[in-house]
Amino acid sequence: MRSLVTLLFLGGLGFLLTVIAGILPFGDPPMLVGNTIQQTAADELGAANFVTAVVLGYRGLDTLGELSILFAAATAGGLILGASRARPGHAAGFILQTGADLLFPLLLIVGLFIVMHGHVTPGGGFQGGVILAAAFFLPLLARPEETLDHTWLTVIEGLSGTAFIVIGLVALSENKAFLTPLFDKGTLGEIVSGGSLPLLYLAVGLKVGSELASLLARLASDDEAAS
Amino acid sequence: MIWIAVIVVVLTLGAALAVLLLENLLAAVAAASAVSLGVAIMFVVLQAPDVAMTEAAVGAGLSGLILALSLRRLGLTGLNITLNRGDTDA
């Protein structure tokens, strides 16, 4: 009964919002910022993917904030979950082991491709980083007795986070604003283009990947409750 | 193109209903991942490949993985919850 009332309430709310959205004129006022970015981003930043131009070029500071939020969340998760231990006992089945062996290099290549081509094609550090984390978690799922080396993950994470800030500080030392894109812009659409944007996205990808891989490994490690 | 969108929306809504109605928690997590997959396809149809990639990687992959691992850690994997479909509000 209660769920029925909830459904009715949600339906009414949806109807209300639809009516309001129907009254409002669609696409008015026009988005001038989007048009301006589409006209100027290719010349200013040399990134074929305008989303990357916005995320790293015009709004690099927001991305730094996003990274710090992710860092805080991963740290809190690690604190609660504790160190990851090797799980003794039951090994995975044949299909999971073979599938993990086959998928690991493919996922690694796809993740690195998405990270490295973030300024040319859709995707970038965040998406590629998640795929990298999944790639390194898959062998862990197939072989429960192994564990990831958290020292190395922490080192990679710290170094890539530092690299992001250092690239921003270099721009500051050249009398530009923090995180202003550096270097030559190159030809639009080639992999070596966009100045320092690919380097920033590589740092983001490595940081996100190592953070999430460490979090997943901690979450998967066995404790008393799991059976 | 409109028919792809209609089919995907229907499948997504079906998966979202399945999340509410399934009794096995692990199956509900899988259905939630399917909802994210449908939304990701809708983003591709709407020509937002960046958002679609994020939705597919984070929504369909990572969040489902984290939910499933949490279920195992809490020892709830094999548990079936009983839905109260009657008028008795618990």
Give the pLDDT confidence of A45-84 residue by residue, as tens digits: 777 788 888 888 888 889 889 999 999 998 888 888 876 6
Any domain includes A9 = no
Quote the mean pLDDT of chain A. 83
Instruction: Judge whether B62 and A133 are in contact, CB under 8 Å.
Output: yes
Contact check, Cβ <8 Å, A134/B89: no
Any domain includes A22 = no
The 10 Å Cβ neighbour count of residue A88 is 8
Any domain includes A138 = yes
ipTM confidence: 0.78
Any domain includes A27 = no
Any domain includes A158 = yes
Instruction: Judge whether A92 and A143 are in contact, CB under 8 Å.
Output: yes
- Residue-level pLDDT at A226: 43
Range of the domain at A74: 45-220
Would you list the domain boundaries of chain B?
2-73
Tally of domains in chain A:
1
- Residue-level pLDDT at B84: 55
Contact check, Cβ <8 Å, B70/A219: yes
When scoring A63, A84, A127, A131 by the number of chain B Cβ atoms within 10 A, the one with the most, hence best to mutate, is: A127
Distance CA A72, CA A174 (A): 31
Given pLDDT bands bounded at 50, 70 and 90, which one contains residue A227?
A: very low
Tens of pLDDT, residue by residue over B31-84, are 999 999 999 999 999 888 889 999 999 888 899 988 988 888 887 776 666 655
Tens of pLDDT, residue by residue over A98-111, are 888 899 999 999 99
Q: Tell me what the mean pLDDT of segment A3-22 comes to.
A: 90
- Residue-level pLDDT at A25: 79
Any domain includes A74 = yes
- Residue-level pLDDT at A125: 85
Any domain includes A226 = no
The B-side interface with A (CB below 8 A) comprises 20, 49-50, 52-54, 57-58, 61-62, 65-66, 69-70, 72-75, 87, 89
Tens of pLDDT, residue by residue over A166-190, are 888 888 888 777 877 777 777 777 7
Which residues 31-90 in chain A show a CB within 8 A of chain B? Answer: 49, 51
Any domain includes A80 = yes
Distance CA A93, CA A101 (A): 13
More confident residue, A61 or A195: A61
- The tokens describing B11, both together, are 């499948």
